[in-house]
Amino acid sequence: MWIIGGATPTTATLSSEVWSSPDGINWTLRVNWPGSDYFVGVAYGSDRFVAVGNSGGAYVSADGMIWNPTSAPTDHQLRGVVASATSTRFVAVGDSAVAYADLAPPV
């Protein structure tokens, strides 16, 4: 599974879209949130994807296809996210912020 967040697969235009692909060639738009929050980082760990946005938003998905907003521990701009290799923790970094959270997968 390939995931792109924050841009379309064919352009470098910033967006609030999340796309997925089984092969990296054929892409399907999964979600496009209204507003100005665009995605800047996606990570996978503990059987879920987490995407973070420039407005401090965080979104979680168990399968990369259905995404749900979740509470992020900051309202600062986020620039990237990584998953811990040994726990359920995700760490996001951004402008004047380092945030971490144990984000549960959607039910």
- For residue 6, pLDDT over 70 is answered with no
How sure is the predictor about 97, in pLDDT bands with cuts at 50, 70 and 90? Answer: low
List, in order, residues 6 or more apart from 107 with CB less than 8 Å away. none
**Range with lowest mean pLDDT among 36-40, 63-67, 101-105:** 101-105
**Range with lowest mean pLDDT among 37-41, 62-66, 81-85:** 37-41
User: What is the reported pLDDT for 54?
Assistant: 77
In our burial notation (b when 16+ CB lie closer than 10 A, e otherwise), range 78-97 reads: beebebeeeeeebebbbeeb
Give dist(CA 47, CA 70) in Å, integer.
16
Give dist(CA 43, CA 31) in Å, integer.
17
Number of Cβ within a 10 Å radius of residue 75 = 11
Token pair of 80 as six digits:
């990237």
On average, the pLDDT of the chain sits at 77
